[in-house]
């Protein structure tokens, strides 16, 4: 499990991996938050849940991360813990995420950039051995 950031002209990319698609999605969400602040600065004071239904794995990555961006903007929060639960039925992916974090405190978190959303450009979901590898580019 893990993530890394990569540079992209005028934007920032996130690559994440895990032993399962759930773990890769969790790491991608944490990578997204790490673009804004140091994850170690975020305390798990409040929990939020979100749900996403998508037709395939790439839409799932796109929809999930855009929902995380939306939640952070709407709730004015940063999330340092993410747990994903995934179920596939009838050619649909049903995702529920539990995210823990706290309200943004500029003096504490020193947000580096504002993420506008996730782009389809270079978005990938790949099975790698027994695990998964995902990649996306963030519009900042």
Q: What is the mean predicted confidence (pLDDT) over 45-55?
A: 97
- Indicate left, alpha or beta for 122 from its phi (over 0: left) and psi (-120 to 50: alpha): left
**Sequential DSSP letters for 20-41:** SHHHHHHHHHHHHHHHHS-GGG
Q: Which residue has the tokens 């050619």?
A: 91
Check residue 91 and report its DSSP letter.
Answer: T
pLDDT in tens, 59-78: 999 999 999 999 999 999 99
Residue 10 has pLDDT above 70, yes or no: no
Domain locations in the chain as residue ranges: 2-139
Share of the chain above pLDDT 70, in %: 98
Inter-residue long-range contacts of 2-6, CB under 8 Å, 24+ positions, other chains counted: 2/27, 3/27, 3/28, 3/30, 3/31, 3/34, 4/31, 5/31, 5/34, 5/35
2-139: what CATH class?
Answer: alpha beta
């Amino acid at each position: 499990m893990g993530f890394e950031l990569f540079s992209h002209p005028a934007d920032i990319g996130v690559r994440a991996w895990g032993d399962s698609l759930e773990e890769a999605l969790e790491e991608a969400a944490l990578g997204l938050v790490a673009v804004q602040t140091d994850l170690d600065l975020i305390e798990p004071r409040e929990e939020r849940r979100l749900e996403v239904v998508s037709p395939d794995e790439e839409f799932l990555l796109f929809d999930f991360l855009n929902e995380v961006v939306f939640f952070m903007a709407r709730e004015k929060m940063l999330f340092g813990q993410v747990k994903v639960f995934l179920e596939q039925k009838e050619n649909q992916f049903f995702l529920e995420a539990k995210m823990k974090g706290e309200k943004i405190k500029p003096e504490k978190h020193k947000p580096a950039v504002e993420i506008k959303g996730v782009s389809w450009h270079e978005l990938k979901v790949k099975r790698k051995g027994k695990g998964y590898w995902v990649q996306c580019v963030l519009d900042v």
